[in-house]
Amino acid sequence: MRTVIYVLLFCLMQGGNTLKSQTVIDLGRGGGVRSKTIDDYTRDQENIRKRQAADSVAYSDCLRRALSALHTDSLAQARKLFEEALRLRPLSPSNYIVRRSLGRIHLAEGNFGKATELLTAVLKEKPDEAEARMDRATAYLELDNPQEAEKDCNVLIEENLLPDRLARLHFIRGAARMRQKFYAPARSDFETCLRLEPGSTGAALLLASAYEADNRLHEALERLNLFVEAHPENADGLIMRAQLEEKAGRDDAARADYDKALRLRPQDGSLYVARAEVLLRLGAQGSARKDLDEAVRLGIPRSSLNSLYQKL
């Protein structure tokens, strides 16, 4: 097969104008140098059209397969396919959707810096992309940048969003305000979240945590009492209430809550350690030893428990 290389020759003309003429260097046997003909231009355009059409088909196929991978929770596969789509058509007008999807994948995989980078690129192109801004607020929060997370939430909260999206925004902003020790505004956000989404266990637990962080232990326990009554099988609520009961000097109540939590999470070694500490204060050394031994069996290093074993 004969190989043809196209070379652009630039010739400076009088008057400072630049005239671009194109030639063909034919490297086949007996080839030479000649001017480009209309057939060459037509062939070039046809090759470009075919290549663009092939890239377009491959691009669409990558997106289809990436979305299919997302549906089966194959995040790594979806990420590779989205990245390949960007490589195939880097200037496609729909790439902001691809980058937003990639940002979400990196967010789910814990690559918060990369997620922020991709979502910021989306927002530069599409500043009104609410989902991208909400995801970036989450990434900022995970990167321990609550100020930027709150700014993104503030931009969106003024918009006419659906209740579930608004509830999520108040949840994220409440968490960001907690990080900044703005406890009263954080409580307001969590309360708003619960009005919009009464079943949000995360908002209910963080609301109690905000009361505790603000040294309002009584209100925190009241909130947790209501939570445990509504969600008796939620181990997180039981554990949090047990910790507050310890702080309030109510070791019998704390032991009861740890008992219930361990029935729900019997393989959690840290819970055996927590209950052992309560048992030691209650004078139940034998039961405390059993809990410490079980914690060691479940993988807690014995060396980290030496101070508790010495109290037996």
Given a cut of 50, whether residue 225 has pLDDT beyond it is: yes
Q: Is 23 exposed, middle or buried (0-12, 13-18, 19+ CB in 10 A)?
A: middle
Structure pTM? 0.76
- To the nearest 10°, report the CA torsion of 236, 237, 243, 247: 160
Q: How many CB atoms lie within 10 A of CB 187?
A: 24
Name residues whose C-beta falls within 8 Å of residue 62's C-beta, 6 or more positions apart in sequence. Answer: 81, 82, 84, 85, 88
CA distances 98 to 12, 36, 82, 84, 121, Å, are 44, 40, 6, 10, 11
Percent of the chain with pLDDT over 70: 82
Map residue 222 onto helix, strand or coil: helix
Residue pLDDT, tens place only, 81-123: 888 888 888 888 888 989 999 999 999 999 999 999 999 999 9
Residue 153 in contact with residue 140, Cβ under 8 Å?
A: no
Core vs surface per residue 215-244: b (16+ CB within 10 A) or e: ebeeebbebbeebbeebeebbebbbbbbbb
Is the pLDDT reported for residue 18 higher than 50?
A: no
* Cα–Cα distance, 306 to 312 (Å, whole number): 10
- Dump pLDDT digits (tens) for 152-175: 999 999 887 899 999 999 999 999
- Whether the CB-CB separation of 170 and 196 falls below 8 Å is answered with yes
pLDDT at 38: 56
